[in-house]
Amino acid sequence: MAFNNTDLAAFKDVWVFCEQRDGKLMPTDFELISEGRRLADELGVDLCGLLLGDKVEGLAKELGGYGADKVYVCEHPLLKVYTTDAYAKVICQVIEELKPEAFLIGATNIGRDLGPRCAARLHTGLCADCTHLDVDMGIYKDFLHEASTLDDARIDGLNTAMVLGEKHDVSRDLKMTRPAFGGHLMASIICPRFRPTMATVRPGVMKKRPYDEAKAAECQIVKPSFELSEADMQTEVTEVVKAAKKLVDLIGADFIVSVGRGISKDVEQGIKLAEELAAELGGVVGGSRAVIDSGWLSADHQVGQTGKTVHPKVYVALGISGAIQHKAGMQDSECIIAVNKNETAPIFEIADYGICGDLFKVTPMLTEAIRAAKAAK
Amino acid sequence: MDFALSREHKMLQKMMADFTEHEVKPIAAETDKTSTYPAQTIEKLFDLGVMGLCVPKQYGGAGVDALASAICVEELSKQCASTGDIVATHNGLCCAPILEHGTEEQKAKYLPMLTTGRHVGAFALTEPNAGSDASKGQTEARLEGDHYVMNGSKIFITNGYVADVFVVFAMTDKTKGTRGISAFIVEKDFPGFSIGKHEEKMGLHGSPTAEIVFQDCIVPKENLLGQEGKGFKIAMMTLDGGRIGIAAQSLGIAEGALAEAVNYTKGRVQFGKPISKFQNTQFTLADMQLGCEAGKLLTYKAAVKKQNGERYTVDAAMAKLFCSEHAMKVTTKALQMFGGYGYTKDYPMERMMRDAKITEIYEGTSEVQRMVISGNMGL
Amino acid sequence: MKVIVCVKQVPDTSGKVAVNDDGTLNRASMETITNPDDMNAVEAALKLKDETGCKVIVVTMGPPPAEGMLRELLAMGADEAYLISGREFGGSDTYATSQIVAAGVNKIGVEKDDIVMCGRQAIDGDTAQVGPQIAEKLHLPQVTYAADIHKEGENITVKRMLEDGYMTIKVKTPCLLTCIKELNQPRYMSVGGIFEAYDKPVTVLDYEALKNDPLIDASTIGLKGSPTNILVSFTPPQKGAGMMLEGADMGTCEKLAGILAGKHII
């Protein structure tokens, strides 16, 4: 193999793939740059963005404002629109040349197409759809104390891992934590023998840091050389179509009113009542998997393990039983309000406030009460 | 003795359970409420080869056994007894007698119609004055040259107003009682054939039941099924097989209701605990489970005996009698567990109970089954 | 022409999921199913078979009981099945798995007008990595998140879903497509198919059968061939229950609105 990626010492810096669509950066770029900043500091290395496109250099400085020391910009007409062929070719070239030790990619539909293709070509490990990343052992252990049911002794003993029969010190490895089995299990993954360590990171999970004007000005722009030609292209994108319908921005919403199977008695009315409550709160409507699978709401409304992960200020669950898949996507909401006919519904176990009753009766009253409470302020 | 289903039968059971869960359950309440024939479901069952599944491959069927047939009806009936009824009738009461008693020409013409041709079949024996006693039938068929002229009417005909092909029993010689009955294959487009009143029933609302009327109906001579005067025998043999279908249907109703009851009682909390934790509930559920298991053994045994070419008249009667009475018991007791909710249309129990009742009546009442069983005891 | 569909047998996480005391999954207590996205891939292949009469081959890597799943896919209408199974393959991560499956696909043989299909991701791991990694190992172009597939000769047009719309992508055979649930509604097994399923060929590919493939050696398969290691797995703690409000009337709603207002939430 021409590319020796087992010499770990030869690799340094944390890289973030900064996805652009139609010449605009994606929200995940800022989330990952913000998170990458912390990891780079913990490792004592630089944080670098990797931006591919056609005439995209102008976007680079903004990435600096969220923490990038440097942005590698690769420009080419064939990089204007994402294709697996062109992007994987260019990215693998610059990685082989510049040797980052960690490479983060947003787990968007594009990131999850690109990441595995590159990891397979580079012969390295990729952890999919991560929800937590750590280098520093202290911070990692604090996270486990809070987010796991592991006992203290077990957590304290996690300084090493058995790798091919030998004890391996994990203190400088990127510890990539992700849910599996529908959120029932979490696992922390390491890539101890190969570099770069690669992770795709779930959108909406990492917190964006405040924009820093001075840091943006300092950000260095570097244009690495690469080869790319028509001969590399095995696929052709003939059109890119934005969804005509307005997409629900569940991830950014402060208030979400979600409906579940409980609306089945009168789907139209159930959704209408949820929309009215959401409008009063200034939020949006979401739905459980059952609602999306039944075709009552489109897939972009789905909250949960297979849908979106949200953490609004208030999450109202109407007629949602609270299957673990659903909880996985909303249990970190600041305040959860549940309305359900069934008093044993598991949603009440995680709700801050529960009302056991018929959503068709309770919802309009709740909308009215909130309107009145706001007016009284 | 091996009580295990073959791997193919297990796979069939899984497929039918899957189909029932996703295609039948979601529309069962609506089918009942609006008394709508589940046409799309039946089309899908044609696609899967469930309609006419016992018909040999050469005539377009799947060529599988009576046990497979019973499993299909059982699974469908767990969520919708109407759908189970339509399938049981098509397979057991129309395809089966044509396959077993038809000439090569009749089989070659009608069996492909009833499988790949997607024509629904029916069976017409009962008349206003001839229910359990078929010898008092008034429908007559008179031979005139190359055709029979049929007059009379049949009632309570399952698939009545959707079927294209009917196996009809009529008197060709009234003086001979049951020995004067003959069987015919009648198409709905034959001149003089018409659909009478659609029945409004207590349950089984998705199963299309109608009266059919023959007014100088012209039935070609070659559509005589079996020999003249052998109709009663054909009817009885067909009903023996049909009873396995009704046993499977009742078994499905009972199993479906039991599953609903188990699910509900585990979630329903009263006096501080789920009602499934009360021994009274547990014992009742245990009896339900016991009956379902016993009914399943009786039904599957009758099906296997039929398949093996053994005499199974008494087995089918016992299976049908036991399962139908058990379905009635289970649905009644399960509804009680649901309390007031069970009496509402928000839950499926009241529908299941209404649907269960017919199984004690049609294709031979419980009394007729007891006659069959006791008649074979040498009393 | 043929379509090779890579499938996986997974625990049904939509039902009850049991976790052992040590934080591992209690697989024995769970039903197994064919991974849902893989079913869409199988259906897409069978549709192509309906249209063109092409052959459909299903292939999986898993323990011997995975044959049961393959038989069900044969009952749906697939023509042949391959089961990649061997102790040597155990402990593989997505990288090693894709090496092995790619070697299995090589054994079947990918010709000029063939298509390889996968589901987008499996519900047990949810990684969505094995499809693209098989494509890389087979040097095939890939199109992921396929929501619509049209084939005309060697030209394939795919509607590839994005979060905010879609792309239309043209690719030539041979290629690899990963399928999502929007693509189609998987068919049921047919009665005839079920009773023929056990007469169709299922070939087991063990280590011996695949060891001569250049993709297969000790450093690329199993635990040793996996670049990633699990440091620890754990179960998340349950969030504690909050407050059940009395009643479900206007007074209840007013009380709740009052609490939210008091906390400056609204």
User: If DSSP states are collapsed to H, E and C, what string results for chain B?
Assistant: CCCCCCHHHHHHHHHHHHHHHHHHHHHHHHHHHHCCCCHHHHHHHHHHCCCCCCCCHHHCCCCCCHHHHHHHHHHHHHHCHHHHHHHHHHHHHHHHHHHHHCCHHHHHHHHHHHCCCCCCEEEECCECCECCCHHHCCCEEEEECCEEEEEEEEEEEECCCCCCEEEEEEECCHHHHHHHEEEEEEECCCCCEEEEEECCCCCCCCCCEEEEEEEEEEEEHHHEECCCCCHHHHHHHHHHHHHHHHHHHHHHHHHHHHHHHHHHHHHCEECCEEHHHCHHHHHHHHHHHHHHHHHHHHHHHHHHHHHCCCCCHHHHHHHHHHHHHHHHHHHHHHHHHHHHHHHCCCCCHHHHHHHHHHHCCCCCCHHHHHHHHHHCCCC
Structural domain spans, chain B: 7-114, 121-230, 232-375
pLDDT at A306: 67
A287, A300 in Cβ contact below 8 A?
A: no
Residues 6+ apart with CB under 8 A from C162: A21, A108, A109, A110, A240, C145
Cβ within 8 Å, pair A343-B269: yes
Q: Distance (Å) from the C-alpha of residue C106 to the closest C-alpha of chain A?
A: 17
A261 and A224 within one domain: no
Averaged over B173-196, what is the pLDDT? 96
Catalytic center residues of B: 363
pLDDT at B284: 98
Partners of A318 on chain C (C-beta within 8 Å) are none
pLDDT at B93: 96
A226 and A91 within one domain: yes
**Position A243 in a domain:** no
CATH number of the domain residue A318 falls in: 3.40.50.1220
Best of A8, A185, A232 to disrupt the C interface (most C CBs within 10 Å) is: A185
What is the distance, to the nearest Å, from the Cα of residue A233 to the centroid of all Cα atoms in its chain? 29
**B279 vs A181: which has the higher pLDDT:** B279
A295 and B CB contact within 8 Å: no
Best of A84, A191, A239, A341 to disrupt the C interface (most C CBs within 10 Å) is: A84
Sign, CA dihedral A304-A308-A314-A320, equals negative
A228 and A314 within one domain: no
A152 φψ region: left (φ > 0), alpha (ψ -120 to 50), beta (else):
alpha
For chain B, the average pLDDT equals 95
Averaged over C120-129, what is the pLDDT? 90
Cβ within 8 Å, pair A187-C226: no
pLDDT digits (tens, 9 = 90+) for B322-340: 999 999 999 999 999 999 8
**Position A239 in a domain:** no
Domain B232-375 top-level CATH class: mainly alpha
A124 and A63 within one domain: yes
Q: Distance (Å) from the C-alpha of residue C98 to the closest C-alpha of chain A?
A: 9
Architecture of domain B7-114: Orthogonal Bundle (1.10)
Domain B121-230 top-level CATH class: mainly beta
For residues B270 and A91, what is the distance between their CA atoms, to the nearest angstrom? 63
List, in order of start, the domains of chain C with CATH numbers.
Answer: 2-210 (3.40.50.620)
pLDDT at C15: 56
**B271 vs A60: which has the higher pLDDT:** A60
A293 and A146 within one domain: no
**H helices within A136-250, ranges in order?**
137-147, 152-156, 213-218
B123, B238 in Cβ contact below 8 A?
A: yes
Partners of B91 on chain C (C-beta within 8 Å) are none
The count of domains in chain A is 2
Asked if residue C20 has pLDDT above 80, the reply is no
Partners of A343 on chain B (C-beta within 8 Å) are 269
Closest CB from C224, C230, C258 relative to A189: C230
For residues B117 and B90, what is the distance between their CA atoms, to the nearest angstrom? 13
Closest CB from C71, C188, C192 relative to B19: C188
A223 and A275 within one domain: no
For residues C256 and C262, what is the distance between their CA atoms, to the nearest angstrom? 10
Q: Which residue of C has its CA nearest to A233?
A: C141
Percent of chain B clearing pLDDT 70 (strictly above): 100
Q: Is A364 helix (H, G, I), strand (E, B) or coil?
A: helix
A270 and A184 within one domain: no
**Position A249 in a domain:** no
pLDDT at A64: 96
Asked if residue C241 has pLDDT above 80, the reply is no
Q: Distance (Å) from the C-alpha of residue A228 to the closest C-alpha of chain C?
A: 16
Of the candidates B300, B197, B287, B237, the residue with the CA atom closest to the CA atom of residue B97: B237
Q: Distance (Å) from the C-alpha of residue B182 to the closest C-alpha of chain C?
A: 33
Backbone angles phi, psi at B359, to 5 degrees: -65, -20
Backbone angles phi, psi at B79, to 5 degrees: -115, -30
Residues 6+ apart with CB under 8 A from A264: A270, A294
Residue spans of chain A under pLDDT 50: 1
A273 and C CB contact within 8 Å: no
Cβ within 8 Å, pair C165-A240: yes
Q: Distance (Å) from the C-alpha of residue A217 to the closest C-alpha of chain C?
A: 31
A339 and A292 within one domain: yes
Cβ within 8 Å, pair C165-A187: no
Asked if residue B166 has pLDDT above 80, the reply is yes
Torsion over CA of C134, C139, C143 and C146, rounded to 10 degrees? -40
Task: Give the residue numbers spanning the domain of A291.
Answer: 255-376
Given pLDDT bands bounded at 50, 70 and 90, which one contains residue B269?
confident
A269 and A223 within one domain: no
A2 and C CB contact within 8 Å: no
Closest CB from C188, C190, C195 relative to B8: C195
Asked if residue B124 has pLDDT above 90, the reply is yes
Q: Where does residue B191 rank: exposed (0-12), middle (13-18), buried (19+ CB within 10 A)?
A: exposed
**Position A177 in a domain:** yes
Averaged over C135-145, what is the pLDDT? 97
For residues A91 and B84, what is the distance between their CA atoms, to the nearest angstrom? 59
CB pairs below 8 Å between A and C: how many?
A: 285
A131 and A273 within one domain: no
Among A296-310, B360-374, C5-19, C215-229, the least confident range:
C5-19
Q: How many CB atoms lie within 10 A of CB C197?
A: 24
A238 and B CB contact within 8 Å: no
**Position A246 in a domain:** no
B-contacting residues in C 38-77 (Cβ below 8 Å):
71-72, 75
Q: Which residue of B has its CA nearest to A293?
A: B22
pTM: 0.86
pLDDT at A53: 97
Partners of A344 on chain B (C-beta within 8 Å) are 267, 269, 274
Averaged over B279-304, what is the pLDDT? 98
Angle at B166 between CA B239 and CA B355, to 5 degrees: 55
Of the candidates C146, C114, C156, the residue with the CA atom closest to the CA atom of residue C38: C146
CATH number of the domain residue A161 falls in: 3.40.50.620
Given pLDDT bands bounded at 50, 70 and 90, which one contains residue C14?
low
**Position A34 in a domain:** yes
pLDDT at A1: 46
ipTM of the complex: 0.90
Closest CB from C75, C189, C191 relative to B64: C191
Strands A314-318 and A335-340: parallel
B46 and C CB contact within 8 Å: no
CB pairs below 8 Å between A and B: how many?
A: 6
Given pLDDT bands bounded at 50, 70 and 90, which one contains residue B26?
confident
C121, C180 in Cβ contact below 8 A?
A: no
For residues A177 and C92, what is the distance between their CA atoms, to the nearest angstrom? 18
Of the candidates A74, A8, A88, the residue with the CA atom closest to the CA atom of residue A43: A8
C-contacting residues in B 71-90 (Cβ below 8 Å):
72
B170, B152 in Cβ contact below 8 A?
A: yes
Residues 6+ apart with CB under 8 A from A338: A316, A317, A320, A322, A345, A347, A348, A351, A353, A354, A355
Q: Distance (Å) from the C-alpha of residue A344 to the closest C-alpha of chain B?
A: 7
C191 and A CB contact within 8 Å: no
Q: Which residue of A has its CA nearest to B29?
A: A265
A166 and A63 within one domain: yes
Best of C187, C194, C198 to disrupt the B interface (most B CBs within 10 Å) is: C194
pLDDT at A244: 58
The residue with tokens 């402990």 is: C91
